Each structure stands twice: as structure tokens, then as C-alpha cells.
Amino acid sequence: MGILVAALLSSLLGAEDPPASTPPQGTLTRAPELVEPATAEYPPEAKAAGVEGTVVLSIVIDAEGEVAQAVVTDPGPHPSFAAAALHAVQQFRFRPAEIDGKPAAVEIEYRYQFVLEKAASPPPRAEEPVVLTGRVVERGTRTPVAGATVESQGATADTGPDGRFALRGVAPGDVIVRVVSPEHEPLSVREVVEEGKAREVEYRLTRRRYDPYEAVVRGERRRPEVSVHTLDTEEVRTVPGTQGDVLKVLQNLPGVARAPFGIGLLVVRGSEPNETIVYVDGIPIPLLFHFGAVTAVVNSDVVQGIDFVPGNFGARFGRALGGTVELRTREAKREWHGATQMDVYDGRLEVEGPVGAGSAYAAIRRSWIDAVLAVALPRVAPDAANDLRVAPRYYDYQAKVTHPLLGGMASLFAFGSDDLLTFVRPEDKPGRPSFHLSTAFHRVGASWRRPMGALTNDVVLAVGKDTFDVLRGEAFGVLTGIESVTLRDALGWKLSDSLSLEMGADLYLRRLSYEVYAAPPGSPGAVGDQFQDSPSTVAERATGYWLSPALYAEADWRATPRLRLVAGLRADTERRFSRTRSWLDPRLSAFYSLREGTTLVAGAGLYGSPPQPQLTSPTFGNPDLLSERAVHLSLGVKQELPYQSNLEVTGYYKRLWDLVVRTRLEDDAGQPLRYSNEGRGRIYGVELMLRRELARGLYGWLSWTIERSERINDPSVTPYGWRLFALDQTHVVALIASYRLAGEWILGTRVRVVSGNPYTPPVGSVLDADTGSVRCLPGAPLSQRLPTFFQTDARVDKRWVFDRWMFSAYVDVQNVSNHENAEFRFRNYDCTQTVPVPSIPFFPTIGLRAEW
Amino acid sequence: MVNAVRRLAAIALTAVLACNPGFEPQYRVTDLRILGVRAEVIVDPADPRGTDLADPNLDDTVRLEALIANPKGQADLSDVDVTWLACAPGQGGALPPCVDPTFLQDPASLVSAGAFPIAKGAKPSDFSLTALPAPARDAFAAALESARRLAFSEPTFQCRIYVEIPIVVVAESATGRRDVALKRVRLVQKPADATFPYDGYLPNRNPVVKDAISATDDGCLGGTSLGAPKALSAGATKTLCAQAASRPDEYFICGADGTRNWTNENLSWQWYVTAGEFKDVGGLGNAEGSHLDFTTPQGTFTLWLILRDGRGGEAWKPFDVTPAP
């Protein structure tokens, strides 16, 4: 069921669904479950011809669990199968899916299998003795199989929701028992039936494909945003080049620029990486990847899905000018399960099972790069081994308990991450290592969701602790500690079928303490550095509170059967070290159903983001900085296409102002201001997403972004004028394709073609006589581009299914053609010669995984 | 974002620096190059401030000298035009043209941008700060006062009450080859404004190069001066050692709370040659360090040894070397 839940999460109906089913919104809290299967009559002509096969149907299940609509998407190998399967499926009855704890309509893909029985006879009478009883479960996952048919000597029995059956009317002796289920391979077993004895058995069926329910995805969860990309974990964890890390897949979606060397910078629609906020179950987290690139700080095993909003996000989110990433963790299964995985970077372990009336899981992962280096470095680089006091080491953990509470569903969860890297040389002074990097965060949160008639309340409360320490000898050090409380409460009120309201609070309280020592800030734009006696540093130490409360309200109004409007208003305030900043953000989204399968979308809204903490430091920054501001405008069309495909084209424009930039201006006392709010930006582009949902083993997408992102500095810093954003990429094209083969093989490829990043060409050089180094003189800022980036990745997955567990392995190869891509230009001492700094070469990785 | 990309570039750069990308090394001089620039205050022998003073006040005269290599031209630099320019502090934080890349890439534009010529010619030139244009003097005086005020609000600046005078040196050969150097001369308070030498900043003295030797042992304890005949043999690899005339000077810096901490200057050495090869100097070919392994070329070559003290003090010594066959 857990697999089903994961698969269905992104399959909910969109705004353009049939009028009979109310479009759901919110989060899927229970997947539909087939409780009353119906058996199709085997078409005589197919039977006579001995044809077996599978019909694929798309089924809309309404809020009562009835099949509201069923459409054949693959008629199978015989023309008579489709009608028979359709007739049977229309008689199915499901336990309805629940969204936000309430029954709701969903759409799934279903495979109906026709398998010839060797004999047919009237069903046995109930009073005949039970000779065979037991349970049918799925191999590998041990999930009970409901709706399977157990047959022997013409006697049949169907399994219930718990997979149990009781077969009567079989004569004693050696018999062949056949077990048939639509999603599984048929099973034939020889049994010995004894007179007067009921034999207890367990049959294990092999699923045709160990993918999530062969499922889903037609459109997205209904959300207030005009552009949302929803990723289902099971769907995307085999994307090549990501090592199974679902968060890395984000970088292949429209609107996301390619980060150099594949590091985890999320550059969304031309905005700074820190302007896209990542939430885990509604709680913001300070970093996304271990050491910037290795792997995400949240194990993909516990991720149910990801909603990525590249712009025009709803009023429930704020404090960002870019986009949002909502990472939703899954709930644990009610049966005992576990998984362990190892790859070249780390090892991980996850266990889950029932806890009272609820369920729980715990997962932990730790890198072993340090262990490998500890063995290898002394042999290959003894000097480095001596200096590397703590090799790159990271770990993360996630735990979650879900339990019914007060008529709703409560969850208690904890997660965290810890990265450490230290170089200590013999000559280093105590407490001042040559290099030390430590980043850690921990969160403990609780959520409770309960529907109350027309009202729903969703509250999340979390406490957290972050540390961020960077030391570089005696010249530079930052030691930061943050203790935080996060509170989000969303109250939903469905006033009518056409109008619903959501009001909420989004509070973030931080106690921030920091200590910084560093060289005084340099002079922006100047050649060389002032004050070169490096031992001299300035320092700042402070402790204070940082309160960021926000209130928002959002109305979702279906004005006409075709037109839906979502209007929101968000009020943010921020009080940091006795300075207060406030801003108000109105936002509006519109959805217009032009015709069946075609929806026009538009959005407009204001966005605000407080300045980064280091920029408001009295010593190194400017405490009087204002919040940065932006307006997002977007206009697009979503078109459903045949073959489980859909196309989404979105044009967008963003204007940024009050951006924090370096300044040469001075205050009234003649002291440098260092930073001002004089920066501005403009970004415009078009995104295209052509997506084939997972069906018949094939899924993938083509994303293409055409964009231009520009900035302008403070007028006091020369050269003054519009210039490209440092990661402006005119074209970002990614093609993802993955195909499930028989025998549990998965083949995948990723092809990326991206415009080269801009760079500033040198126009000469000057000897800095005080240091002896030669300083290159920058020409027009970011006025030239590196060559176009091209890379092809490939991946092969293989799974072996055993009776009680599964084992899988993958080989993931980045840059299979070993194409040389330039990430930077490396220059000689006076910039008269350059060589490219290449990106990742041919780079294979392997991973092994066991699930039970 | 830009910072993140820069950090990434720095990491990549570090990785590349470990390799040899095939560049012409910085230490090898094949055409007109400015290798060093020094300033020394001309003081009366009776002046209690002593000799080798690098940091002037507004009443001083400074002797400016550039180390210019001209292997393709005349050794006496008679075919090289050298221009010296200085800039006053920018008003309201504006960037002085002498440190502005926009103007440095076209030195001819410096004067029209506000720089003022202070000397001409390849030989050492005397630059009297009293001869500065009045607006420039006023600007420097105001900047000194600003530095003094900053010291009140930011204790760590109590040891940095000085203003940097950016000085640009432009050398141009007859063949049209041009090289530019930037020197920052630290302008300090006049004795009348300061309780010399312990108020605000300890003025710096230029270091002195004693010699460069071809070592006969691993510890640079003994060897032959490169100035001696046949100190090196063609094709042989020897360790060259730099020798300063004195130990590093002591000076004080202020901690974050203004506490004065005495520390030693960090002497750094830089080597240049017209021929030959230094070992293990990294991808950019900047030959740094007090001792380096050097493979001697065939034929006569010139070696320059430059010493810097990390506070703007600078000295050098050239050697014309004729290796033994």
C-alpha cells in the first residue's frame, strides 16, 4: 500500500477534470484500495485462440470509491479484451482515496490481465470443507494481494483485502493450484490435499513490474500556483546522473539553470540560489545537499514527492524571490519493512513498521569517504593525509511517527544533517585550523491535520538548531549558531463547491549568535586589496533574536465552470537585532479551461525577501538594508496529449528591485556603507515541459528553458550598466527517458544541452607591486560565454525479487561520451593565455540496495 | 550567487594550480616587464625616524623606483618611456582612477580622469608630497582624519591610521610593448599629529636584500653568491637561497578590541629570470619562496630577486649570471 500511496500522490485530478468529480486539493492521506474486484468474462474468441494478455485502463475513482470513469489506454493483444476488461473494471469498488483526511476522487492506471484457466467448473458449494486456506502475498514486498483468484480442479476462491482465502471442494490427492492476479505473474503450485484436513499455505506472487502500481499521473495536485512540477519519488529515482537522489532531479526541470560541476545550487528562473526556499513537510531547511553536491540532506527513501514551484508561488510561502521546493515525506507502512543501500559515497539503513494504531520509520545515512581516504591517502598522498585531520564526513537521519489523534492524524518527525571537513597543519595555532567547515541542522517537528466538516486545520510546529562554522587559519572565521521555532498553521474553509478560503500564519523565530573575524571588507571595483597586512582582522560577535511572522489569506474561487481564480495576500514582518522590516504581497492566479484538456494559466504577484544575515552585519555589512523585492508575472498553457503525455508552456517576466549590492557610498560620517539596496534585475523567459507519464514502462520528459537574466549594480560601482546574471543560460535543454524492460531491468538516459555560462574577459593586467602578483583587468562584465555544455548520462538498474526480499543494483554513468565541457577559464599570470577548466569527465558510480 | 560561483572557481583553480597547464611561467621574463616598485622617504640624517623609511607624511619627499626588465631592449632602459601618476582619494567613496580597471586598461585616460603625473623616466624619481595640488593635499588630509575617526568607532583600525596613495607606473618600450604596475604608498600622520612611532600605526621600513646563493647543503647555510663567477653550471639543478640583510621587523596590529599585538613581518621572496627553469612553482609559474630548485640554462642570463615585507616595503637585487659550461 505504501507503494500505492507514493504512486498516487501525483495522480490527483486537475482543474480540467470531469464535472462529476470534485477536483481535490491538499495532500493525499490515503490511496484508493481495491476491495471488491470483479472478474471479466474471458472473450470466447480469445480463449479459442489461446490468447492471453493485459489491458491497460485509466480509471477515475470517485469519492465514494465507485468507478466514475474508465478509459482503455491499451487494448492488449486481442480486440475483444478491451470491452471485457472495461465491463469488469466498471464493477470494481474501491475504498476511496483520502485527501487531507477526506474522501476524494483520484485517477489511476490499472492493468487487467487475461490468463487462460485450464479448467472451468461450477463454484463449489459453501458447505464443502475447506481444504486449502492461507494468504497470497507479493514476493519481495510481502504485501497482501487482494483480488487474486486461487483455483484448483475448477474450484475457485478470491482473496480478501488481507490476501487471505479459503478454497473448498477440492478432491484429496496431488493437485495443481493456480493463483491469478491482474498485476502479478500467474503462479502454479503442486499441493497434496488430504481428506478432512485444511492445509495452511502462503503463496507469493511476483509483481509484473516492481513499480508503483503501474501508476498514474495525469495532471497535478490542484494548487494555487500556475506552474507546479510534481515529482514522484519512485518515478524519478532512476534518472541517470543523479545517483538515485530525487532532489538532484530538480535541476532537470524547466526554469532551473545548470549548476557548475553539478553542485546543488538551485538557480530558478534567473534568481540567486538562496532565493529559492526548500521546505521539508512545511519546515524550511538551510541547505539542500551535503557538501554542496554529493547527495541531498534528506534520504530519498523517506521522500514521498516533491512539488517544485519555479515562480508565482502562493501566499502561503514567502521570504523568497525565486521559487519554492516542497519536499513531502511519506508515512511509514503498517508492516515491518526495511531497506539498506550502499554506493560509492555512503551507506544507509531504513526500518519501518507498526506503532500502536499508527506507524513509524527511522532512516540513517553516513558517508564513508573519510574511511576510504583514511586507507588510501597515506599510500598515495602522505602529506595530504597528515593534514586532513577529519576527512569529508556527513550523515543525516530522518524519523517519523504517524498516529491517529483527536479525530485527525498526528505526526512527530525528526530529521537532521551534519557535514564536517577539517584540515590541520602542524604549524596551525590551536583553534585556528588551516581549513574547517562544519554545517549541521536538526529539526524536531509535530503536525496535526484534521478535517472538521467544511473546515480543515493543518498545523506544523518545529524546533531546530543549526550551526555553520567556517575557519580558514587566522585570517577568516565565521561561527554561527541558530536555534529556531517554526510554526505554520493553515485553516481551510470550504464555503461552497465554488469557493474556499485558506488563512494561515507562518512564523519563524530564530535566536542567532555569531562570531566573525575577517579582513576588513575590500574596496568594491578596485584593483588589488587595501590593507594587506593579512594578520589584521576585524571581528564582530553578537547574539540576538530574529522574528519573522507572516499572515496570509487566500481565496480559491471557481467563478465559472471554466474559470478559476486564486487571490492571496501575504503580510510579512521581520525584526532582526532591533530593526524592523515589513512588506505586503498581493498575489493572483487564474486558470481558464479553454476546452477539454486545455487550460490557460496566468499569475501575478509581489514577493519580498529579507537581506541575508551577513549583509546586515554592522562591521561587514549595512544594518540599514531594506528587504529585496520582486514582481512575478507569468502566462502559460497546459495541454493534455495522447499517450499519457502533456505539454506545458509558460512565459514569465520578473522584475527585481532593492537588491542588495556592493556600494562605494559613505554615510554622513564618511564611513563606507559597503552595501546598498540600489541593485535591480530583470528576467524574462519561456519554459516548455513535454512530459510522458509513467505508462507501459516508459516515462520521461523534455524540458527547454529560454531565458535572459540581467542585473545592474549600485551606480557608485563601475562599470555601471546592465550585465548578465552570473549563471544566465540562454538555452537549458534536458531530455530524460527511462524504460522498464521485462525481468526488472530499467534503462535510462539523460541528455543535456545548455548555453555556456557568461564570463568576464580580461583586457590587460597590472602588477600589484605590493604583493608581486599580477592582477587581470576585467573587461565588460560577463560579456562573453563559455562553449555550449553537452552531456549524456546513462543508467542501468536491475532488481532481483526473492520470496521475502528484493535486491537491486545500478550503474550510473555521467558523461558517457566523455565530452569535454568548460566550467571556467583558467588564466595564466597576466591573462594572456587561458585553458578551460573541464567539467565532470566520464564518471561511473555503482549502488547496491536490499529491501525486505 | 556570484560569490558562490567565485568560490567554486577558486576550488577549480586550486585543483588546476596543482597541475601544469602549459602556460609561460610568470618567473620567466622575455620582454618588457615591471617587476617591482618601491618608495623610500628621503630623510635628513638627523631625522629621528631613521633610514629606509617606506611610509611618508604630507611634508615628505619620496624616492620612487621601479624594477624594470627589458631583455629585448636596452639594458639602461634608454628606449623605455616610464610615466608615474598618483591619485587623490575619491570624494564620497568614489574609486580613484589609479585603482579603477576601467582607466588602468587605458593609462592614457588616467590624467583626464583625475590622476596627476608625479614623475617621468626610468631612473629613480623624487616625489615631493608638498608639491601635490592643493585639492589633493586637502583630500589626503581629510582621508587621514577619516581614518582617525574610524579608529574611534572600530578599535581594530587604531593601528591603521594611514591612507594609501595609489601610484601607477606605466612603462612603454620602443616596440610598443607596455606594462603597468600599481604601488600603494602609505601616507601616515605627521609627527606633530602623532606620538611617533606608537600612535596609530608603526611606519614601515623597506627591507634589504643581502644576497642570493647557490646552496651547497640542504639548509641554505652555505653556498656561493650568484654574483660570483661561475656560481652555477649550465644544465645543473641547484637550490638557490635568498638572504635578507636583517631579520623581519616587528610591528603591531590591533585585535578586534583594539589590543595591540606585536608581530613579525612576513617576508616573501620572488624570483625572475630571463632563462632557466624553477622547479615546483605551480601552474602560474610564480617563483616564490626563500629557496627554490633551479635548472641553469646555457649562456648568460639575468636573475632578479625581490623581497617584500607584506606591509608595502620592498627591495630587490639583480644578478647577471654566466654559468660555467
pLDDT, one tens digit per residue, over A15-53 is 233 333 334 445 666 777 777 777 788 887 777 777 777
What percentage of chain B exceeds 90 in pLDDT?
57
User: Nine-digit cell at A291?
Assistant: 557538501
Q: What is the mean pLDDT of chain A?
A: 85
Cβ contacts (< 8 Å) between A517 and chain B: which residues?
256
> ipTM for the complex?
0.93
User: Does residue A5 carry a pLDDT above 60?
Assistant: no
Q: What is the pLDDT of residue A211?
A: 54
Q: What are phi and psi of B115, to 5 degrees?
A: -75, 150
B45 vs B190: CA distance, rounded Å:
18
- SS (HEC) of chain B: CHHHHHHHHHHHHHHHHCCCCCCCCCCECCCCEEEEEEEEECCCCCCCCCCCECCCCCCCEEEEEEEEECCCCCCCCCCEEEEEEECCCCHHHCCCHHHCHHHHCCHHHHHHHCCEEEEECCCCEEEEHHHCCHHHHHHHHHHHHHHHHHHHHCHHHHHCCEEEEEEEEEEEECCCCEEEEEEEEEEECCHHHCCCCCCCCCCCECCCEEEEEEECCCCCCCEEECCCCCCCECCCEEEEEEEECCCCCEEEEECCCCCEEEEECCCEEEEEECCCEECCCCCCCCEECCEEEEECCCCCEEEEEEEECCCCCEEEEEEEECCEC
Return the closest-CA partner of residue A344 out of A693, A814, A732.
A814
Cell of A559: 467563478
**Alpha-carbon distance B132 to A468, whole Å?**
50
As a whole number, mean pLDDT of residues B182-209 equals 81
User: Positive or negative CA dihedral for B83, B89, B91, B94?
Assistant: positive
The closest of A485, A503, A486, A493 to A551, measured between CA atoms, is A503
Residue B196 reports pLDDT greater than 80: no
Rounded Cα gap, residues B311 and A602, in angstroms: 60
Of residues A563 and B20, more confidence is placed in: A563
Q: Give the sign of the dihedral formed by CA A299, CA A302, CA A308, CA A313.
A: negative
Amino acid identity for residue A711 in this structure: R
E strands present in A368-498: 390-405, 408-423, 435-452, 455-472, 476-494
pLDDT score for B213: 95
Which residues, other chains included, contact A574 with Cβ-Cβ below 8 Å and sequence gap of 6+?
Answer: A546, A547, A548, A580, A581, A582, A610, A627
Which residues in A47-72 are b (16+ Cβ under 10 Å) and which e?
beeebbbbbbbbbbbbbebebbbbeb
B93 in reach of chain A (CB within 8 A): yes
Residue range B127-134: mean pLDDT, rounded: 89
Task: Give the nearest partner residue to A777 out of B13, B23, B105, using CB atoms.
Answer: B105
Whether the ω angle into residue A404 lies within 30 degrees of 0, i.e. cis, is no
Residue closest to B145 by CA, chosen among B100, B87, B190: B190
Is 0.90 surpassed by the pTM of this model? no
Q: Answer whether residue B275 shows pLDDT above 60.
A: yes
Cα dihedral angle (A281, A287, A292, A296), rounded to 10 degrees? -20
Tell me if B104 and A777 make a contact (CB, 8 A cut-off). Answer: yes
Please give the Cα distance from A84 to A94 (Å, whole number): 19
- Residues A63, A68, A73, A78, CA torsion sign: positive
Instruction: Provide the shortest C-alpha distance from residue B124 to chain A (in Å).
Output: 16
pLDDT digit string, tens, across residues A638-686: 999 988 889 999 999 999 999 999 998 888 777 788 999 999 999 999 9
Top pLDDT among A6 and A814 is at A814
Q: Which residues from B are below 8 Å from A668, CB to CB? A: none
Phi and psi at A380, nearest 5°, equal -100, -25
| Three-state secondary structure call for residue A268 | strand
Which residues are CB-contacts of B139 (< 8 A; sequence separation ≥ 6)?
A: B88, B89, B91
Angle at A260 between CA A258 and CA A265, to 5 degrees: 65
At residue A535, the pLDDT reads: 45
Inform me whether the C-beta atom of residue A758 falls under 8 Å from chain B C-beta atoms: no
The predicted pLDDT at position A23 comes to 41
> Which percentage of chain A shows pLDDT scores above 70?
90
A36 residue type, one letter? E
Instruction: Provide the CA B41 distance to its chain's centre, in angstroms.
Output: 15
Which residue, chain included where needed, has cell 572557481?
Answer: B9
- Give the list of residues 6+ apart from residue A544 with CB closer than 8 angstroms, or none: A511, A512, A513, A576, A577, A578
Q: What is the pLDDT of residue A123?
A: 53
Phi and psi dihedrals of A215, rounded to 5?
-100, 150
Mean pLDDT of A567-596: 92
Most confident of A69-83, A557-571, B126-140: A557-571
Could you tell me the CA-to-CA distances from A243 to A294, A817, B92 in Å, in that order?
Answer: 9, 18, 53
* Residues of B in Cβ contact (< 8 Å) with A717: 95
Contact B182 A829 (CB under 8 A): no
Cell of A397: 537521519
Cβ of residue B52 closer than 8 Å to a chain A Cβ: no
pLDDT at residue B38 in the model: 95
Chain A residues 812-851 with a CB less than 8 Å from chain B? 823-824, 826, 828-830, 833, 835, 837
The grid cell for B153 is 568607532
Of B92, B256, B285, the CB nearest to A538: B256
The span from the CA of B138 to the CA of A732, in Å, is 55
Strand-strand pairing, A806-814 and A789-801: antiparallel
CA distance A421 to B9: 19
Measured between alpha carbons, how far is A201 from B102 in angstroms, rounded to an integer? 85
Cell match 593565455: residue? A833
Confidence class of residue A2 from pLDDT cuts 50, 70 and 90? very low
- Residues in A closer than 8 angstroms to B92, CB to CB, are 665-666
A701 touches chain B (CB under 8 A): no
**Is the backbone peptide bond immediately before A719 cis, with ω within 30 degrees of 0?**
yes
Q: pLDDT digit string (tens) for A593-630?
A: 999 889 999 999 999 999 988 888 888 889 999 999 99
Q: Edge-to-edge strands of the sheet including B237-244?
A: B223-225, B209-215, B237-244, B291-295, B277-278
- DSSP character string of A617-658: -TTTS-TTPPPEEEEEEEEEEEEEETTTEEEEEEEEEEEEEE
Distance CA A36, CA A665 (A): 75
- H or E stretch at A768: strand A762-768
The Cα–Cα gap between A231 and B134 comes to 69
B288 in reach of chain A (CB within 8 A): yes
Question: For residues A231, A235, A237 and A240, what is the CA-based torsion angle, rounded to 10 degrees?
Answer: -100
A532 vs A324, residue with greater confidence? A324
Smallest CA–CA distance, residue B257 to chain A, in Å, is: 8
A 540-569: CB under 8 A from B: 540
At A218, the pLDDT band (50, 70, 90 cuts) reads very low
Which tens digits make up the pLDDT trace of A148-187? 889 888 888 888 888 899 988 888 888 999 998 877 888 8
- Residue A797 host element (H or E): strand A789-801
Distances from the Cα of A248 to the Cα of A256, A365, A748, A749, angstroms:
11, 17, 15, 15
Q: What is the Cα–Cα distance from A373 to A391, expressed in whole angstroms?
A: 7
Put simply, whether B263 touches A (Cβ < 8 Å) is yes
Q: Is A273 on the interface with B (CB under 8 A)?
A: yes
Has residue A724 got a pLDDT over 90? yes
Beta bridge partners of B33: B69
Query: What is the C-alpha to C-alpha distance for residues A799 and A559, in angstroms, rounded to an integer?
Result: 50
Q: Please work out, in degrees rounded to the nearest 5, the angle formed at the alpha carbon of residue A703 by the alpha carbons of A702 and A707.
A: 155
Contacting residues of B for A523, CB less than 8 Å apart = 95, 99
Tell me phi and psi for residue A727, to 5 degrees: -115, 35
Instruction: Identify the three-state secondary structure at position A380.
Output: helix
Q: How far is A659 from chain B (nearest CA, A)?
A: 13
Q: pLDDT by residue (tens digit) across A489-520? A: 999 999 998 999 999 999 999 999 998 888 77
Contacting residues for A575 by C-beta, under 8 A, at least 6 apart: A545, A546, A547, A548, A581
| β-strands A762-768, B178-188 pairing | parallel
Interface test with B, best of A276, A541, A671, A770 (most B CBs within 10 A): A770
Q: How far is A303 from chain B (nearest CA, A)?
A: 28
User: Measured at the alpha carbon of residue A315, what is the angle toward residues A312 and A316, in degrees to the nearest 5?
Assistant: 115
Residue type for position A534: S
| Cβ pair B146:A767 closer than 8 A | no
Looking at per-residue pLDDT, the higher value among A650 and A524 belongs to: A650
Interface touch A664/B36, C-beta < 8 Å: no
- Nearest residue in A to B164, CA atom: A530
Q: Looking at the partner chain, which of B23, B102, B183 has a beta carbon nearest the beta carbon of A828? A: B23
> What CA–CA distance (Å, rounded) separates B28 from A829?
11
Rounded CA separation B185/B118 (Å) = 13
B233 interfaces chain A, CB cutoff of 8 Å: no
Please give the backbone phi and psi of residue B17, each rounded to the nearest 5 degrees, phi first: -60, -25
